[in-house]
Amino acid sequence: MWQVTALTLFPEMFPGPLGESLAGKALKEGLWSLEAVDIRRFAKDRHGTVDDAPFGGGAGMVMKPDVLSAAIAASAPTGVEGPRVPKLLMSPRGAPFSQARARELAAGPGVLLVCGRFEGVDERVIEAHALEEVSVGDFVLSGGEIAAMAVIDGCVRLLPGVMGEPASASEESFENGLLEYPHYTRPASWAGPDGIDRRVPEILVSGHHGKVAEWRMEQRKEITRRRRPDLWARRTPAK
């Protein structure tokens, strides 16, 4: 079973949306497990203090190293903490989370996710526990919980038995460095709110599977070129 441990100040946020749809069904079926660990349980005073002012001054507060480290260490009995299981810290300064990384994580035994809050996490905890900093985009959230859920969902859907049609994942956005092709369904002719009649491309109703596959690949390339030139440049480096 793929095991997830989420360290958070708000354990009640989990499973949240992860309890619905594909991820929720897989959770109920025992294809993966989730434990939300309350970091505040490891505070050392009766006030449950988990943060303090940063050395050197500045705005915001920083998560205390002794409290967070104790929470990480206490995850060891669950089987998630260990040399083979990645320990991720949700951080806007981290490396962008990718489809390739999701596949790597899904192929392993599970993951430990640290959901930061306040101004950040004491750097010494990151070093001592070899936390891998991961970002879900070039923006800042109020905490790491939503980012952690995005990472979990991206991995869970790749676990064996979760998706009804395994082949569907191979044609999704970011597979092979390309975005996904356009999708159409019935009716074949549809007039939108602007009154313009829009028909499904003829190739898709031709019944010629080889040509459909070629059309879809060309669409993937063209959409990637136009919308994500950065992805296209990485896929076709300049000579």
> Residue 73 domain-assigned?
yes
Query: What predicted TM-score, i.e. pTM, was given to this entire model?
Result: 0.88
Domain count, the chain: 2
Q: Does the residue 182 lie in any domain? A: yes
Query: Which two tokens mark 4?
Result: 């997830």
Instruction: Based on the fold, state whether residues 131 and 176 are members of the same structural domain.
Output: no
Q: Does residue 161 lie in a domain region?
A: no
**Paired strand residues for 36:** 6
Asked which of 96, 127, 156 is the last residue of a domain, the reply is: 156
Selection from 27, 62, 25, 66 nearest residue 45 by Cα = 66
Same domain, 11 and 83: yes
CA distance 233 to 146: 30
The CATH number of the domain holding residue 212 is: 1.10.1270.20
Residue where a domain stops, chosen among 99, 121, 156: 156
On whether both 194 and 141 belong to a single domain, the answer is no
- Is 187 found in the same domain as 212? yes
Output Rg (C-alpha) for the chain, integer angstroms: 22
Residues 134 and 211 in one domain: no
User: What stretches of the chain adopt beta strand conformation (E)?
Assistant: 2-8, 32-38, 51-52, 62-63, 87-96, 110-115, 120-121, 132-135, 189-191, 197-199
pLDDT tens-place values along the chain, 239 residues long: 999 999 999 999 999 999 999 999 999 999 999 999 999 999 999 999 999 999 999 889 999 999 999 999 998 544 444 457 999 999 999 999 999 999 999 999 999 999 999 889 999 999 999 999 999 999 999 999 999 999 999 999 999 999 976 545 555 667 778 999 999 999 999 999 999 999 999 999 999 999 999 999 999 999 999 999 999 998 866 54
Are 65 and 179 part of one and the same domain? no
> What are the phi and psi torsion angles at 154 (to 5°)?
-60, -30
- At 237 the pLDDT is 62
Q: For residues 77 and 127, state if they share a domain.
A: yes
Give residue 178's domain range: 166-235
